[in-house]
Copies of this chain bind each other. A is one copy, B any other.
Amino acid sequence: MSLVVQKFGGTSVGDPERLRAVADHVARTRRRGDQVVVVVSAMGKETDELIRLAEQTSSTLPGREMDMLLSAGERKAMALLCMALHDLGVPADSFTGSQAGIITDTFHTRARILEVKGDRLRECLAAGKVPVVAGFQGVSTGNDITTLGRGGSDTTAVALAAALGADACEKYSDVPGVFTADPRVVPDAKRLAQVSFEEMLEIAATGSGVVAFRAVEFARNHGVPIHVRSSFSWEPGTWVREEDPSMEQPIISAVTHDTSEAKVTVVRVPDKPGIAARLFRSLADENVNLDMIVQNVSQDGTTDISFTVPKADLEVAVGVCRSHAAEISAADVLTDDAIAKVSVVGAGMKTHPGVSAEMFETLADRGINIEMISTSPIRITCVVRAEQVEEAVQALHQTFRLGD
């Protein structure tokens, strides 16, 4: 008998019919002889609707109250799912983040998990029941309700799997696995049977939203295998787990892309120690999420510093840069929101030189200009014009023969 954490996203629990289908799925898993802990997100687009309601009511949106408000969403989904399980004769109890013992820090709307107690979940399992836990939420060390921010429900599921010593965390959504590229852009994209934690981190960081980055990070740190699969079928999906050193790694596993960012360039910054540090400290203080940072070599004692940020953070980022421009003697601050990132990811890249050359040639052949480059041992990312990114993805998918 194994223990599995099954996490169902908003679409999977979007209405009474879908909730009953999920209950049926959980009941079948139990009949197979496994113990199940379920984690649910809020139903459908409920979190967005709650945020809209808050914005209609208030212009200040205090974090403590946003968390109290948003945590109502999962509460509905988990209670309804338990009712549907009862209908099938499966005993099930719902637990809030607080009741499940998910202890977080005190940063409202983006809290981090400090500890998972899980005592009530273990008792519930021992009593032969299915614990159904609210994703995305916890209770702070100050006893206030907190939410975990973007990707929070995935993180809850992985954290529970780690704390309870589960054999796997199954993530169910309307996406049946991890693909070699976005199937909407590349029709012959293939589902990957497995990817390593490292590859999945790079894939999550560069555009695929199928599993939240911080959940993958948590899973890697605690060795929790994640099975990404469809809630609409029993087809196997993609296993995310430790790299198996006995197997030959594919050179490239996936091509990802991301159009959600914008580029900021601070022009002709004096090339002296401490200048960049001061700028980036100020950006961090304003909670701007920097992604790629590129600094060119110095020319005539100055350099251009470029970075990408989520479009939502662009205005704040530019404000910070402009207010520092005089202080650091920069000539100007330029922005560009018509960019996109395209990346190739693959663990085999570490032992196969020449991937970057092949990538650059492929883009050059199509007349696609590369504006920024950044690399990791298993990833190469290029910033290109947004309107050329789909062509870039298709070309790279073909070059690296991922559709075969």
Contact = CB atoms under 8 A, between A and B. Distances in A.
Interface of A: 16, 19-20, 50, 53-54, 56-62, 64-66, 68-69, 71-73, 75-76, 78-80, 82-84, 86-87, 93-94, 96, 99, 120, 143, 145
Contact of A68 (B50, B54, B78): B78
Contact of A75 (B75, B79, B99): B75
Contacts of A87: 58-60
A335 B278 CA distance: 84
B68 A75 contact: yes
Given A71-B75, A75-B69, A75-B72, A16 B83 contact: no
Nearest to A69: B79
A201 B287 CA distance: 57
A56 B86 contact: no
A79 B68 contact: yes
B57 A84 contact: yes
Contacts of A78: 68
Contact of A62 (B60, B69, B71, B82): B82
B76 A61 contact: no
Given A58-B83, A64-B93, A68-B82, 16 more contacts: A16-B53, A54-B80, A54-B83, A58-B86, A58-B87, A59-B87, A60-B87, A62-B83, A64-B94, A65-B82, A68-B75, A68-B78, A71-B75, A72-B76, A99-B143, A120-B143
Contact of A94 (B20, B54, B68, B86): B68
Contacts of A143: 99, 120
Contacts of A73: 72
B93 A57 contact: no
Contacts of A82: 62, 64-65, 68
A96 B50 CA distance: 18
Q: What 3 pairs between A and B have smallest CB-CB spacing?
A: A58-B83, A69-B79, A68-B79
A120 B64 CA distance: 15
A65 B79 contact: yes
B93 A56 contact: no
28 contacts: A16-B53, A16-B56, A50-B76, A54-B80, A58-B83, A58-B84, A58-B86, A59-B87, A60-B87, A61-B83, A62-B82, A62-B83, A64-B82, A64-B93, A64-B94, A66-B83, A68-B79, A68-B96, A69-B75, A69-B76, A69-B79, A69-B83, A71-B75, A72-B72, A72-B73, A72-B75, A96-B145, A120-B143
